[in-house]
Amino acid sequence: MLLIARKKAFLVLLAVCFWSSLALAQSPATPPREEGSFRPSKLVELVKLDPTFRLDIRYATPHNFMGRPVYTEARAFLQMEAAEALVRAHGKAKEKGYGLLIFDAYRPWHVTKLFWDTFPQFKDYLADPAKGSRHNRGCAVDLTFFDLKTGKEVEMPSPFDNFTERAHPDYQGGTEPQRKARDLLRTLMESEGFAVYEYEWWHFDYEGWRDYAIQDVSYSEIGK
């Protein structure tokens, strides 16, 4: 039994090494060059715009699919227009007894590359660095509800960063309260110009994302 377990572990390690080496051979070393003109970046910190947002920035902790921190600071930024729309969605959520709990927002390009290079087998869930992510433009946000009375995160059909069909916004499993909460989140976000990503109930892109360029600016450099 021990020998079989060791063989299985070795095969898993080989698979990880294969995917990682393949990705490294294909992944660009620098952000993609984009043609055309873009609006000036106006990234704003969400809690400074509205301190009642709650943050759970998983990528600043080991509690994420990478198993280690990839951000040095637990902060969240969006382009001003998207941030203002999110504040309005937050207000609508409060009317329903919920607040918005932010997992991630603007993401430097090098982190997108790190995700892709490490787990290329999850290509449906991770952005290709050769094309960039809407997170890199400051126009995507990952979030959920928290209950205003209890302060607890609201249960959804899957947890954040779940790379299975349970994460799909049209998944019909889970409990009825979980699906109702997920669908309400989508309704409120769509009412303010956000669109849900087809594979992740928590990921929303702002309608004006095409107006902004891909960025690789660290949090500490924003606003300088």
Record the pTM.
0.86
Q: Which amino acid is at 183?
A: D
Give the chain's radius of gyration (CA, Å).
Answer: 18
Q: Based on the structure, what is the number of domains in the chain?
A: 1
For residue 143, being part of any structural domain is answered with: yes
For residue 103, being part of any structural domain is answered with: yes
For residue 207, being part of any structural domain is answered with: yes
Q: Confirm if 101 and 153 have CB atoms less than 8 A apart.
A: yes
pLDDT in tens, the chain (224 residues): 444 444 444 443 444 444 444 444 456 788 998 888 999 999 999 999 999 999 999 999 999 999 999 999 999 999 999 999 999 999 999 999 999 999 999 999 999 999 999 998 888 899 999 999 999 999 999 999 999 999 999 999 999 999 999 999 999 999 999 999 999 999 999 999 999 999 999 999 999 999 999 999 999 999 77
Beta bridge partner(s), residue 146: 99, 153
For residue 23, being part of any structural domain is answered with: yes
For residue 176, being part of any structural domain is answered with: yes
Q: How many C-beta neighbours within 10 Å does residue 18 have?
A: 12
For 192-200, the CB contacts below 8 A with 24+ separation are 192/85, 192/86, 192/88, 192/89, 192/92, 193/85, 194/82, 194/85, 194/86, 194/89, 194/141, 196/169, 197/169, 198/168, 198/169, 199/124, 199/125, 199/167, 199/168, 200/125, 200/142, 200/167, 200/168, 200/169
Strands 98-104 and 54-55: parallel
Q: Which of 192, 200, 207, 221 is catalytic?
A: 200
Nearest to 105, CA basis, from 75, 84, 132 = 75
Q: What is the CATH number of the domain that holds 14?
A: 3.30.1380.10
For residue 57, being part of any structural domain is answered with: yes
Q: Confirm if 134 and 126 have CB atoms less than 8 A apart.
A: no
Domain that holds residue 196: 2-33+43-221
Nearest to 40, CA basis, from 79, 6, 93, 76 = 79
CA distances from 16 to 9, 82, 163 (A): 11, 37, 16
Q: Is 198 one of the catalytic residues?
A: no
For residue 38, being part of any structural domain is answered with: no
